[in-house]
Structure 1
């Protein structure tokens, strides 16, 4: 499943990060990389999601969320 289908308030493990270029590099710098455990904290519906990686929280647009594969942690 990707981040758009993930339920809020559940712990998820990133399986694949299908974001290339500078955006992909920035996400990896923020800790969003394969193997990382994340939590979807807010669902902004058509806008995207807010995810937590450790103590950090950041918003991702819907298109980016569709490119991040996750599984239950």
Structure 2
């Protein structure tokens, strides 16, 4: 599934990111690399999502969300 399908409260592990090289590098620099677990904290308009990674929060537009493929993670507390 892609990140745009996530709803607030969902935890997801990134499995693949289909962005261009510069955007992939930027995501990795922020800690949003494959293997990282993020929590969807808010749904934005037009398919965007706000995700939490540790104590950090990032807003991703719908274009980036549909290109981040994730697998659901069960039993993690978003805190």
Same fold? TM cut 0.5: yes
Deviation, structure 1 residue 45: 3.1
Secondary structure at 1:12's aligned position in 2? strand
Structure 2, unaligned runs of 5 or more: 74-79
Structure 1, unaligned runs of 5 or more: none
Q: Deviations over 1:10-63 (max 9, x none)?
A: 111101011122221111111111110001100013051111111111101101
> 1 or 2, which has the higher strand percentage?
1
TM-aligned CA distance change 1:69 to 1:22, over 3 Å: same
RMSD between superposed Cα atoms in Å = 1.1
| TM-score normalised to structure 2 length | 0.85
Following TM superposition, where does structure 1 have runs of at least 4 consecutive aligned residues deviating by more than 2 angstroms? none
Larger Rg: 2
